[in-house]
Structure 1
């Protein structure tokens, strides 16, 4: 469950009655869009609500009569009713909650852009989040707190391009871990991105070819150095099949 401070109210009026539930704002929007399972993978409804209850007035704690619940929803089970209130009702948020949601969504958007974007004018190096934040501010871009950050990427990039050189690109890197580190290290390297292929060498070393957002290359090199005590070798590949043809 979430805290009451983090919850918003979803409200439905029907049959002359009012029904309110307390839920995480992003989860409520995902439920309304029908994308909850995708956006909140691994979480259940009970993880994103503040109370397993349905209220007539959440602020006072008053509850509607069971007969009204039965008439409108066909059940008195709160866990069956809560999604219906969210789907059919309206999400009530205060100005303060809206500001907090907007700030959280802005941070999420900046993180996505920083992890996926590169600077084509500086050897395709990543843009630091702070630079992206300043550029969004300079561009006058306003984050929509009610729309998933992923859906705002294209508009944000359109706003950023007149301010900073940026493009989204993936990078493919071959990493070779010495035999002493291959057993434990390869498991972490292979999970960093999309493992294109892997080869175990005759000397016991492991070579993996991994594709991931170009903006994450510094993180990748840090991981490889960490799991190999700095003894690994890496090489950026222009072609995913390059290693096999050399």
Structure 2
């Protein structure tokens, strides 16, 4: 379950009665769209149905039976959300907008590059400033994934930007290969790997282009800066040295 501070109220008025449930805002939107596939008990603040959630008053069981044909809260809660309205306070809306804004910035920074600077990643701070300059406002009631394309459209007149993936080859010296390759191979999608006769390990990985600096940091951390890396421009090179 979630805390009351994290929950929003979903309200349904029917048959002269009011029914309220307390649920995570993102889960509520997902349930309303028919996209929720998680465990309901993980995203509600109370396994209960209220007449007035703020006072804790509950509707009579006869009203639940009449409207929902059951008294089971776990069956009623999704019905209230789907058929009713999601109520959020100004403070809840502000917090949701701030959270979605941060998620959007991080998603763009992880995937975007600057095509005018040899596809170098854009730092989150630059994305943040550009979104502000573009006047883009995150919709707290929409999933972040649904807002990325619109955000990119607004960003392009402000900064050179595009979403891309990078394919990176790395050769880890024998002294570090055993432990380092186990960490490096998890960073992205492993395209190919090969153990060399000198005990070194060569791997080719694909990952979002905005993560290049994180990749270099990871490789340097686990190889004391002795590994060699290069960007693979032509995928025909994968698997070759």
TM-score tier by shorter-chain length is over 0.9
Asked whether 1:119 is paired with 2:123, we answer no
User: Which residue is 2:80 aligned to?
Assistant: 85
What do the CA deviations read for 1:170-189 (whole angstroms, capped 9, x no partner)? Answer: 10001222334333332322
User: Which residue is 2:219 aligned to?
Assistant: 224
Asked whether 1:153 is paired with 2:156, we answer no
Following superposition, the deviation at residue 191 of structure 1 comes to 2.0
Out of 177, 187, 196, which is 1:182 matched to? Answer: 177
Aligned length: 241
> Secondary structure of the residue that 1:244 maps to in structure 2?
coil
User: Which residue is 1:100 aligned to?
Assistant: 95
User: Which residue is 1:110 aligned to?
Assistant: 105
What do the CA deviations read for 1:9-60 (whole angstroms, capped 9, x no partner)? Answer: 01112222211111111111111122223xxxxx522221111111111000
Out of 43, 46, 52, which is 2:47 matched to? Answer: 52
Following superposition, the deviation at residue 135 of structure 1 comes to 0.9
CA RMSD in angstroms, aligned pairs only = 1.6
> Secondary structure of the residue that 1:137 maps to in structure 2?
helix
Indicate conservation of the 8 Å contact 2:170/2:204, yes or no: yes
User: Which sections of structure 2, spanning at least 5 residues, go unmatched?
Assistant: none
Structure-1-length-normalised TM-score? 0.92
> Secondary structure of the residue that 1:12 maps to in structure 2?
strand
Segments of 4+ moved more than 3 angstroms: none
CA distance in 1, matches of 2:82, 2:182: 41
User: Which sections of structure 1, spanning at least 5 residues, go unmatched?
Assistant: 38-42
CA distance in 2, matches of 1:179, 1:78: 59
Indicate conservation of the 8 Å contact 2:192/2:238, yes or no: no
Indicate conservation of the 8 Å contact 1:182/1:204, yes or no: yes
Asked whether 1:25 is paired with 2:20, we answer no
Indicate conservation of the 8 Å contact 2:167/2:206, yes or no: yes
Indicate conservation of the 8 Å contact 1:196/1:240, yes or no: no
